[in-house]
Amino acid sequence: MRDVLYLAWRYLVYNRLKTVILVTSITLIIYLPVGLNVVVEQSGEHLTARAEATPLLVGAKGSPLELALNSLYFSLDFPELTDYSEVTAITDSELATAIPLYVRFRSRSQPIVGTSLDYFEFRDFEFASGRPMAVLGECVVGAVAAETLGVGIGDAVTSSPETVFNLAGVYPLRMKVAGVLAKTYTSDDEAIFVDVKTAWIIQGLGHGHQDLASPDAAASVLDRSDDNIVANAALVQYNEITADNADTFHFHGDLSGYPLTAVVAVPDDEKSGVILRGRYADEDANSQIVRPVTVIDELLDTILTIQQFIVAAVIIVGLATVATAALVFMLSLRLRRREIDTMLKIGGSRPRVASMLLAEVAIVIVLSAMLASVITLLTWRFGPGIIESFVLA
Amino acid sequence: MIALARPLTIAAILMLLVACSSDERAPASDAEKWAMPGVYAVNYPLAYFAERIGADSVEVAFPAPADVDPAMWVPAVDTIAGYQGADLVLLNGAGYAAWVQRVTLSQSRLVDTSAEFAERLIPVENDLTHSHGPAGDHSHGGTAFTTWLDAGFAIEHASAVLNALSRLQPENATDYRDRFDGLEQQLLSLDQALKDIASRIGDQPLLFSHPVYQYLERRYALNGHSLHWEPGVMPDERQWRELSGILAKHAAAWMIWEGRPHPEARDRLESLGVRSVVFRPAGNRPETGDFMSVMHENLQALQQAFPTSP
Amino acid sequence: MIDIQGLQFSYGESDFSLQVPELAVARGETVAIVGPSGSGKTTLLNLIAGNAIPRSGTVNTNGEEVSGLHDAARRSFRIANIGLVFQEFELLEYLNVLDNILLPYRINRALTLDSDVRGRAAALAEQVGIADKLQRYANHLSQGEKQRVAVVRALVVRPPLLLADEPTGNLDPVNKERVLDILLEYAENNNATLITVTHDHDILHRFQRVIDFKHYYA
């Protein structure tokens, strides 16, 4: 057996290009359905676990999937905006804890999640270092976000402008890192958490500026009357909240009208959840309430259907590949007629020569299976993260 | 054969490494837990109400230093951490403690104790508005926030504290209700006593050292005008001139101070025919006594200033 | 060593027919077989080696009637007792020189590859001047080197019988003499029988006996 395998191996090594092509083709044929299944199943488990951990989401009427993806996985696209009055309404109902979410802005590639401390308790966060944000302008960084941005306690992250040309809109806010979370192996690892009011400041709904009554702001004053001062665009607005200027930061208007992307509702019990859902059942309401589990299940059903089509296609391609490989093998035998005759002529036993030829096939299949297994293992280990980043990008 | 074994071995090791990679989370750190629920307040009256109602069943904290006005106080980061860890944070509402708007707290644990009477709050216009950008004029003024000086509002504050504590610890609800009833009786007595004094004051003009008596003024229909004089500080000449102008139109015979006035100021006021009486708002914890004893001292001071007709 | 009696052989439907009434080759004898192309010289070697089965008659090789053995037994006998050398060398291009030499030990379990065999292979390679090329692939050798590898492959099993079919046909004069020296030296030193089919009359004088095959075919 050892000699048979040795001769087969030497043949494959000598004809390495052919071997690589065969191994690659068969590996793909084995891996594609298996790997796809692993990815889909794992992603499904991952997505489902995240969805199951989030009882209810309230948002503006629109796509439930967009609402769920943005709220659970902090996707780039954000849904129609709701407002803070939804948080107050849910809190006043005494049916659930309302956790605001404003997931709209980014710091480079990392999502900035405007929320409240309740989110930390809800997700049972633990800190690798530091503490929760205490004052506006502070942030807490997920484990992966910290690595990606290369930041730690005391460093700063800066929000990215929404568009290059919207100079009067979202402007960069420098935020101090107060804490770094321990790894959760969820999308929370990628996030930068801020108080929702900090997110509003990023948007420009809240701001801090020079005291217009002070002499330092004289250059910014356009007009002054007895009871009103009009400032021009030269007014210095702060892009970082510090101990010195924190008192100048303020919001205008009623905060209940300030925007959110979603509200996480954590019902006190199942009955409260049912009652709460009933309150949003009105078709004409401007808001919707979704159970993330339902949304993700529907998404997974769609993915499963697509997967089945892909697997069917792969099987067909696989059969074609196997047939082609068999043809290559038979042609190769024909080309190797003389070599086989030589071995037989000098006394090689027929079974052993045949075994050698079959061993070449077997080694290719075993190598392919092993390679497919390794790639499948790697897929199992890293696949869901890669898939999520594709889905959410 | 060795050439065959080598790639197989590498592959096997690779598979083993990947399969054995750990997904274990970092071990949880121990969280400090209080022996009983922790209740933080943004001012002393709320802390007092929580102490009266909660008694030994809750830990009440009011960490503002004794020498600051809690309305203007900005806590340090580690103090904010205390508020973050509390089971309940009692807010006064009406814009009191603006720092609350600039820190991160668990919304689910915040209790706005003036929510029930929010529409009855007294707006305060700032002297100056400003505008910049497309939003137009806006003011940095807000709402008068010494709401507890209206005894009726004080009862509503206390009621909100009762409801919050009862939700937090339903098993103690009955005890909490009993204690609240006792507190309510005292506040009602205080309210009645103030009404009696107010009836003696009538509509005679009064001066207030600071604009912190709006709710007292409204509840008891007092005719007051507020200055911006600091207790213990001698006003400057500009302020005396301003006072003269006010007295010409609002001939007050009494100034109500939130703290003991500077002796020179008191004397000079008296030379202008204005006597001083101290009515401490009790926004912060007193050096001695408690909220109720301070209110009784206030009551006595007013009774001395405005005695019953002989 | 070789005893052929009443041999008759033909290929399928073809007109070719080989008839050898009687042929004997002694142990240790060196024989050159000459004859016109198509006379059956190679066929005779195949019959002696057991690579072909006569229609009638017997072929007795080294005491074994190979024509009467079944296929597996013939192969085992052949690989252990007969060294074959071909005109076209017939090396496996995907094996290096050493693996080509040791090939007989890998393709039939009648032989066992052990350290003695490896030592013998190395010694033979040294002897024929290819010791420094053991790790090279066969198609990286010159013609002469290839044939020497093929010869060592035939000799490594220490066969009592060597059958060489035009072993020098593709070689230059120098290598021709060199390969012939190796074969004849082996035969002499090991009392082995060497039967060589050749068209080269220049080398006939080196053999003890020359058989003209023109008499044996029809």
C215 has pLDDT over 70: no
Shortest Cα–Cα distance, C43 to chain A (Å): 12
Q: Which residues pair with A228 in a beta bridge?
A: B129
Angle value at C-alpha C61, between C58 and C66, nearest 5 degrees: 55
* Percent of chain B topping pLDDT 90: 72
> Do B177 and B206 share a domain, yes or no?
no
From the list A209, A228, A371, which residue is nearest B129 (CB)? A228
Token duo for residue C120: 């013998």
Predicted local distance difference test score (pLDDT) of residue A324: 86
Q: How far is A138 from chain B (nearest CA, A)?
A: 9
DSSP notation for B28-93 = PPPPP--SS-EEEESSHHHHHHHHHHHGGGSEEE--S-TTS-TTT----HHHHHHHHH-SEEEE--
Number of domains in chain B: 2
pLDDT score of C178 more than 90? no
Best mutation target, C87, C99, C108, to test chain A (most A CBs within 10 A): C108
Residues B258, B172 share a domain: no
Distance from CA of A23 to the nearest CA of C (A): 19
Which residues of chain A are under the pLDDT cut of 70? 163-171, 209-238, 283-284, 384-385, 387-393
Average the pLDDT over C63-91 and give the result: 86
Flag whether residue B188 sits within 8 Å of chain A, measured between CB atoms. no
Residues B73 and B164 in one domain: yes
Contact present, B247 and B272 (Cβ < 8 Å): yes
Chain A residues 237-256 with a CB less than 8 Å from chain B: 241, 246-247, 249-252
Judge whether B207 lies within some domain: yes
Closest to A291 (Cα-Cα) out of A39, A27, A96: A96
Residue A294 in 3-state DSSP? helix
Identity of the residue in B3, B105, B131 whose CB atom sits nearest the CB atom of A230 = B131
Nearest Cβ partner of C106 from A6, A11, A15? A6
Q: Closest residue of A to C89, CA-based?
A: A342
DSSP notation for B80-108: HHHHHH-SEEEE--TT-SGGGGGB---GG
Percent of chain B with pLDDT over 70: 83
Q: Confirm whether B302 is domain-assigned.
A: no
Q: Confirm whether C92 is domain-assigned.
A: yes
Contact A346 C84 (CB under 8 A): yes
Predicted confidence (pLDDT) at residue B80 exceeds the cutoff of 90: yes
C44 inside domain: no
Residue B296 to residue C216: CA distance in whole angstroms? 146
CB atoms within 10 A of CB B30: 6
Is residue A393 a contact partner of residue A76, using CB atoms and an 8 Å limit? yes
Residue C41: the pLDDT is: 86
- Whether A28 and chain B come into contact, CB under 8 Å, resolves to no
In a domain, C121, yes or no: yes
Q: Which residues contact C2 (CB under 8 A, 6 or more apart)?
A: C23, C24, C25, C48, C59, C60, C61, C62, C161, C193, C195
Nearest to A119 by CA among A18, A288, A265, A282: A265
Give C171-175 contacts, CB < 8 A, sequence gap 24+. C171/C143, C171/C144, C171/C147, C172/C143, C172/C144, C174/C144, C175/C143, C175/C144, C175/C147, C175/C148
- The predicted pLDDT at position A153 comes to 95
- Cα angle at A289 between A287 and A292, to 5 degrees? 140
Nearest-CB residue to B26 (from A183, A209, A246):
A183
Q: What pLDDT does C96 receive? A: 93
| Cα gap B31→B86, rounded to integer Å | 13
Q: Tell me whether residues A184 and B127 touch, CB distance under 8 A.
A: no
- A343 contacts in C (CB within 8 Å)? 92, 103, 107
Q: Which of B80, B102, B104 sits opposite A249 (nearest CB)?
A: B102
ipTM surpasses 0.90 = no
Contact assessment for residue A131 and residue A139, using Cβ atoms and an 8 Å cutoff: no
Residue C39 pLDDT > 50, yes or no? yes
Residue B156 and residue B70 share a domain: yes
The answer to whether the CB of B155 falls within 8 A of the CB of B161 is no
With CA atoms as reference, report the closest residue to C41 among C210, C186, C158, C171: C210
Do the Cβ atoms of B29 and A91 come within 8 Å? no
Res B134: pLDDT = 44
pLDDT higher at A166 or C33: C33
Give the span between the Cα atoms of B95 and B285, in whole angstroms: 20
As given in the structure block, the two tokens for residue C159 are 């066969």
Going by beta carbons, is chain B in contact with chain C, meaning 3 or more pairs sit under 8 Å apart?
Answer: no
With respect to residue B46, please indicate whether it lies within any of the assigned structural domains.
yes
Kind of pairing, strands B254-257 and B205-208?
parallel
The shortest CB-CB distance from C106 to any of A3, A13, A14 is to A3
DSSP characters over A311-371: HHHHHHHHHHHHHHHHHHHHHHHHHTHHHHHHHHHTT--HHHHHHHHHHHHHHHHHHHHHH
Chain B residues closer than 8 Å to A210 by CB:
none
Question: Do B221 and B249 belong together in one domain?
Answer: yes
Better pLDDT: A88 or B4 = A88
Least confident of A162-176, B107-121, C170-184: A162-176
Amino acid A95: pLDDT:
93
Q: Which residues of A281-299 are buried (b: 16+ CB within 10 A; e: fewer)?
A: eeeeeebbbbbbbebbeeb
CB contact (8 A) between residue B18 and residue A100: no
Evaluate whether chains A and C are touching (3 or more beta carbon pairs less than 8 Å apart): yes
| C140 CB within 8 Å of a chain A CB | no
Q: Which chains touch B (3 or more CB pairs under 8 A)?
A: A
Same-domain status, B53 and B144: yes
**Interface A-B: count of C-beta contacts within 8 A:** 123
- Find which of A95, A189, A228, A247 to mutate to test the B interface (most B CBs within 10 Å of its CB): A228
B contacts of A371 (beta carbons < 8 Å): 11
Instruction: Tell me what pLDDT residue C10 has.
Output: 81
Does residue B248 belong to any structural domain of this protein? yes
What 8-state DSSP symbol labels residue B169? -
> Which residues span the domain enclosing C178?
27-38+70-215
Return the residue in A3, A88, A135, A210 with the most chain B beta carbons within 10 A, the one to mutate for interface testing: A135
In a mutagenesis test of the A interface, which of B108, B129, B140 is the best target, namely the one with the most A β-carbons within 10 Å? B108
B233 and B147, same structural domain? no
**Is the CB of residue C72 less than 8 Å away from at least one CB of chain A?**
yes
The mean of the pLDDT values for chain B is 85
**Position B266 in a domain:** yes
pLDDT band at B136; cut points 50, 70, 90: very low
pLDDT of residue A113: 97
Find residue B103's DSSP bridge partners: A135
A97 in B contact zone (CB under 8 Å): yes
- Tell me the average pLDDT of chain C: 87
Residue of A nearest to B79 (CA): A134
Kindly give the pairing relationship between strand C30-34 and strand C193-197: parallel
The one-letter code for the residue type at C195 is I
Domains contained in chain C, number: 1
How many contacts (CB atoms, under 8 Å) link A and C?
76
Task: Report if residue C10 sits inside a domain.
Answer: no
Q: Is the CB of residue B273 less than 8 Å from the CB of residue B301?
A: no
Q: Does residue C16 register a pLDDT over 80?
A: no
- Residues B154, B219, single domain; the answer is no
Are the beta carbons of A371 and B11 separated by less than 8 Å?
A: yes
B256 and B159 belong to one structural domain: no
For A5, the closest chain C residue by CA position comes to: C106
* Stated length of chain B: 310
Contact residues, chain A, for B118 at CB < 8 Å: none
Partner-chain residue, chosen from C84, C94, C113, that has the shortest CB–CB distance to A3: C113
Q: Ramachandran region of residue B282, left (φ > 0), alpha (ψ -120 to 50) or beta?
A: left
- CB contacts, 8 Å: A335 with chain C: none
Q: How many residues in total does chain C contain?
A: 218
**Claim to verify: residue B175 and residue B218 sit in the same structural domain:** no
Q: Is there a contact between C44 and C20 (Cβ–Cβ < 8 Å)?
A: yes
Tell me how far apart the alpha carbons of residues A281 and C84 are, in angstroms, rounded to a whole number.
Answer: 92
Is the confidence at residue C102, as pLDDT, over 50? Answer: yes
**Residues of A with Cβ-Cβ distance to B98 under 8 angstroms:** 247
- The answer for C 24-53 residues in CB contact with A (under 8 A) is 49, 51
Looking at residue C38, what is its pLDDT? 80
Per the structure, the complete domain to which residue B52 belongs is given by 38-120+140-183
The terminus-to-terminus CA distance of chain B in angstroms comes to 122
CA dihedral B2, B3, B4, B8 (to 10 degrees): 90
Contact call for A7 and C95, based on CB within 8 A: yes
Shared domain for B48 and B177, answered yes or no, is: yes
DSSP state of C40: S
Q: What is the CATH number of the domain that holds B275?
A: 3.40.50.1980
First-to-final CA distance of chain C: 26
Kindly state the average pLDDT of the residues C184-210: 90
Give the chains touching A; criterion: ≥3 Cβ pairs < 8 Å.
Answer: B, C
Cβ pair C108:A352 closer than 8 A: yes
DSSP assigned state of A74:
-
Q: Are A228 and B128 in contact (CB under 8 A)?
A: yes
> Which segment of A305-314, B180-189, B247-256 scores lowest on mean pLDDT?
A305-314
> Do A3 and C107 make contact, defined as CB atoms within 8 angstroms?
yes
Distance of CA C5 to the CA centre of its chain: 21
CB-based contact A347 C79, cutoff 8 Å: yes
Of A235, A370, A377, the CB nearest to B19: A377
- CATH number of residue C166's parent domain: 3.40.50.300
- C126-145 confidence digits (pLDDT tens): 888 889 999 999 888 988 88
Residue C5 lies in a domain: no
Counting beta carbons within 10 angstroms of the beta carbon of residue C148, is it exposed (0 to 12), middle (13 to 18) or buried (19 or more)?
A: buried
Helices (H), chain A: 2-14, 16-52, 64-73, 85-93, 117-122, 143-149, 196-203, 270-279, 292-335, 337-345, 350-392
Q: Cβ–Cβ of C99/A10 closer than 8 Å?
A: yes
Indicate whether B171 and B48 sit together in one domain.
yes
According to the model, what pLDDT value does residue A332 have? 86
